[in-house]
Amino acid sequence: MKLLPPKPEPPDNDDCCLSGCEFCVWDLYDEDMREYRKQAEAIRHAFESQGKEVPEQLRPENIHDAVDPAMRAFLDMEREMAMKIQHEQDLDRDDSE
């Protein structure tokens, strides 16, 4: 059975400049956590399908990120703004064709 890799470590708050960088350290952490959750879910499913007890570390309530609520709100806002800008650029590109 596949082993769960180590849980990603969140960046320090000082690692983020809060200027909306395209590749923010928090975005990279978020991507790493999504992959970690995906792998944990696959391993948890393997345990369940074999009728084995799911280890504590693989239970959904124990697979969470370490982002404080204020930073999460900032990251969500940044992501929404980036998606809106991308959508507008796509519309502009479609209009020019």
Helices 25-49, 69-96: crossing angle, 10 deg rounding: 100
Given this model, what pLDDT does residue 1 score?
Answer: 56
Q: What is this structure's pTM?
A: 0.69
Given this model, what pLDDT does residue 49 score?
Answer: 92
26-53: average pLDDT:
89
Alpha carbon 27 to chain centroid distance?
7
List the alpha helices (DSSP H) in the chain.
Answer: 25-49, 69-96
21 against 52, higher pLDDT: 52
Length of the chain in terms of residues written: 97
CA distance 55 to 60: 11
